[in-house]
């Protein structure tokens, strides 16, 4: 071992970085040597650790072992790490380069980060601020760490250049040119940091498979949240000063009035992310106490073209649905709360029916998915173009298939039912808890039992449950009684299958990755028609449906638990016992 300067225990070390003090305390470096290296680092504008390892005073391997022992942190040889499997996008590459750190994984709300200097509080605070997550250090050799950081930075830079270059741009045709009266606002719109920040947020949301972005101003803070797999997650806390500039930038791109900040507005914008890939966004603004809250919904047309198998229907449910939508006439209803995937289910059915010999018309508020070959209409209540008015017009346009975004009132319901009774296939949605209550809801709207029984041919109720991450899910030890209370039958809990629980890794979001549909697909049989005609209630319809083999939403969810697709907690959280 190299000779170490003789230094009294009480020697002042307060002017030295934490790394130097730790090395002196461990007897690996003398006081004078540490001070010399510190002066050289300042003169050369490099870090203490770079000057230390470059001078040969302490080897990278010896430094790593000393830091691991001094700080009680695990030691990791980066040669054993597959660079391609490291998580992407969790930390800005500039921070990684500046502090020579590599993100290894994410566990819950904490990042596992490789470093050679665990005493660097500035690095820890910078990472916490940038990611809004805690930091757990893993010690690695400085030279190997530097090589990995540079390799990752090169890859990330090339990827970003390919996106932000010619292939990453807003569709200028969607932008509105501000008038001369809006000079004050337009001066904010092209603010370079704001433009870059917005681009980064949209790109991050797309790569993280978010469905919505929330820009939320408060009295002294500003936050950005993404809805990922149905859950809102805080992503960034930019300075409060950018709120007005960011709102103006978004409103110009979305063809809104940038001078109007007192009333809600709606708009759309497009983002080109490749030579042949364009993503649509639906934008909504809302005046709040401290500025305009903006929510951006990501509309990915490819989601409607995944096919019915990707939605999570069981084989018997899929057959019932396909048999219904391919009939020449009748009404198919999709029910569920907002955000349960009703629109994707409807467009998946439309995609199946969308053939050259079929005339399809849709009325929505607004149209979320653009589908060539389908005549799509946005309703506009202020202009008098209501769902009912659009439906009346459709019937004069020689339609084969009609899709109504939502049946909200008796007039719309009456026209839709008449269309279904006169030789048209009608698809629509309602907001009800399950399939049986949909029929009683229609009865309460004032629709005659005969019209319901003679027009509705199938009802699908649905929810979206988060999928367990296949990379990290683990067997769950759930008591026998708990499984029975959840709705499993005694014969189901036979020990031939294993429930799983979420764990969390760098490839998922707290143990979940993506979502899967849970469905109750109920055809309207002759027996159910008789109950409707007799003005029966929802429990009577539900009992008959169960006799005919229709699973409730809870039972459908429990089957996904048996298959290991989702967790029991997730199913209990998104379904009722029925």
Quote the CA–CA distance of 552 and 573 in Å, as a whole number: 15
408 is written with which tokens?
């909200």
Strand-pairing partners, residue 509, are 512
Quote the CA–CA distance of 353 and 360 in Å, as a whole number: 8
Q: Hey, how many other C-beta atoms are within 10 angstroms of the C-beta on 322?
A: 13
The DSSP output letter for 240 is G
The pLDDT score that the predictor gives to residue 170 is: 58
* Sequential pLDDT tens for the chain (578 residues): 334 443 333 344 446 888 888 888 888 888 888 888 888 888 777 788 888 887 778 888 888 888 888 888 888 888 877 777 778 778 877 788 888 888 888 888 888 899 999 988 888 888 888 888 888 999 999 888 888 887 766 554 444 443 333 334 555 444 444 444 444 444 445 556 788 888 888 888 887 888 899 999 999 899 999 998 888 888 888 888 889 999 999 999 888 998 889 999 988 888 776 656 677 888 999 999 999 999 999 876 666 566 777 788 888 999 999 999 999 999 999 998 887 888 888 888 998 899 999 999 999 887 877 788 899 998 888 888 888 889 899 989 999 999 998 888 888 899 999 999 988 999 999 888 899 999 888 998 899 999 999 999 999 999 999 999 888 889 998 888 888 888 888 888 887 888 999 988 777 777 888 888 999 999 999 999 999 999 889 999 999 999 999 999 999 999 999 999 999 999 998 887 65
Quote the CA–CA distance of 366 and 377 in Å, as a whole number: 8
Supply angle C-alpha 414, 418, 421, rounded to 5: 140
The DSSP output letter for 165 is S
User: Strand, helix or coil at 105?
Assistant: strand
Phi-psi region of 68 (alpha: psi -120 to 50; beta: other; left: phi over 0): alpha
The pLDDT score that the predictor gives to residue 160 is: 40
Q: Which of 455, 462, 450, 451 is nearest to 426 (CA)?
A: 455
The pLDDT score that the predictor gives to residue 269 is: 85
Exposure on the CB side of residue 154, measured as CA atoms within 13 A: 6
The pLDDT score that the predictor gives to residue 22 is: 86
The DSSP output letter for 257 is -
Strands 401-404, 425-430: pairing is parallel
Quote the CA–CA distance of 399 and 73 in Å, as a whole number: 69
139 Cβ contact partners less than 8 Å away, ≥ 6 residues apart? 64, 67, 68, 71, 73, 74, 75, 76, 114, 115, 116, 118
Yes or no: say if 37 and 49 are a contact pair by the CB < 8 Å rule. no
Yes or no: say if 556 and 549 are a contact pair by the CB < 8 Å rule. no
């Amino acid at each position: 071992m190299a000779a170490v300067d003789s230094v009294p225990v009480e020697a002042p070390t307060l002017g030295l970085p934490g790394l130097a003090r730790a090395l002196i305390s461990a007897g690996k470096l003398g006081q004078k040597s540490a001070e010399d290296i510190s002066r050289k680092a300042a003169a050369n504008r490099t870090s203490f650790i770079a000057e230390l390892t470059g001078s040969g005073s302490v080897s990278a391997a010896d430094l790593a072992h000393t830091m691991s022992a001094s700080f009680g942190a695990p030691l990791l040889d980066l040669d054993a790490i597959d660079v391609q499997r490291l998580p992407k996008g969790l930390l800005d590459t500039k921070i990684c380069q500046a502090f020579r750190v590599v993100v290894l994984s994410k566990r819950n709300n904490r990042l596992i980060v490789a470093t050679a200097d665990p005493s660097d509080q500035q690095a820890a605070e910078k990472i916490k601020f940038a990611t809004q997550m805690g930091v757990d250090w893993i010690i690695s050799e400085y030279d190997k760490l530097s090589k990995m950081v540079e390799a990752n930075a090169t890859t990330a830079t090339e990827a970003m250049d390919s996106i932000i270059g010619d292939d990453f741009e807003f569709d200028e045709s969607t932008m509105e040119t501000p008038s001369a009266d809006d000079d004050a606002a337009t001066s904010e719109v092209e603010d370079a940091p704001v433009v870059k920040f917005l681009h980064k947020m949209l790109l991050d949301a797309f790569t993280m498979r978010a469905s919505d972005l929330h820009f939320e101003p408060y009295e002294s803070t500003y936050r950005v949240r993404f809805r990922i797999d149905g859950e809102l997650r805080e992503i960034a806390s930019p300075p409060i000063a950018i709120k007005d500039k960011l709102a103006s930038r978004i409103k110009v791109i979305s063809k809104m009035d940038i001078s109007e900040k007192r009333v809600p507005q709606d708009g759309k914008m497009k983002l080109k992310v490749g030579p042949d890939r364009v993503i649509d966004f639906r934008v909504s603004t809302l005046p709040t106490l401290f500025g305009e809250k903006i929510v951006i919904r990501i509309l990915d047309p490819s989601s409607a073209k995944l096919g019915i198998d990707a939605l999570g229907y069981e084989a018997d449910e899929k057959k019932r649905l396909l048999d219904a939508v391919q009939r020449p006439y009748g009404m198919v209803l999709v029910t569920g709360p907002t955000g349960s995937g009703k629109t994707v289910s409807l467009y998946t059915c439309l995609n199946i029916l969308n053939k050259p010999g079929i005339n399809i018309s849709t009325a929505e508020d607004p149209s979320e998915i653009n589908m060539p070959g389908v005549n799509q209409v946005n309703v506009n209540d202020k202009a008098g173009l209501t769902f009912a008015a659009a439906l009346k017009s459709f019937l004069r346009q020689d339609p084969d298939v009609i899709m109504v975004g939502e049946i909200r009132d008796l007039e719309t319901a009456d026209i839709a039912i008449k269309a279904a009774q006169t030789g048209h296939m009608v698809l629509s949605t309602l907001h009800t808890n399950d399939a049986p209550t949909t029929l009683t809801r229609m009865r309460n709207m004032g629709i005659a039992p005969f019209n319901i029984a003679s027009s509705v041919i199938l009802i699908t109720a649905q929810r979206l449950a988060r999928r367990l991450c296949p990379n990290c899910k683990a067997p769950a030890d759930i008591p026998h009684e708990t499984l029975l209370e959840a709705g499993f039958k005694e014969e189901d809990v036979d020990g031939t299958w294993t429930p799983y629980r979420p764990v969390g890794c760098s490839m998922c979001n707290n143990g979940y990755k993506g979502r899967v549909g849970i469905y109750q697909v109920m055809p309207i049989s002759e027996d159910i028609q008789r109950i409707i005609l007799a003005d029966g209630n929802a429990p009577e319809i539900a009992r008959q449906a169960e006799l005919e083999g229709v699973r409730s939403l809870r039972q459908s969810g429990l089957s996904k638990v048996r298959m290991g697709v989702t967790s029991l907690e997730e199913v209990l959280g998104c379904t009722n016992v029925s």
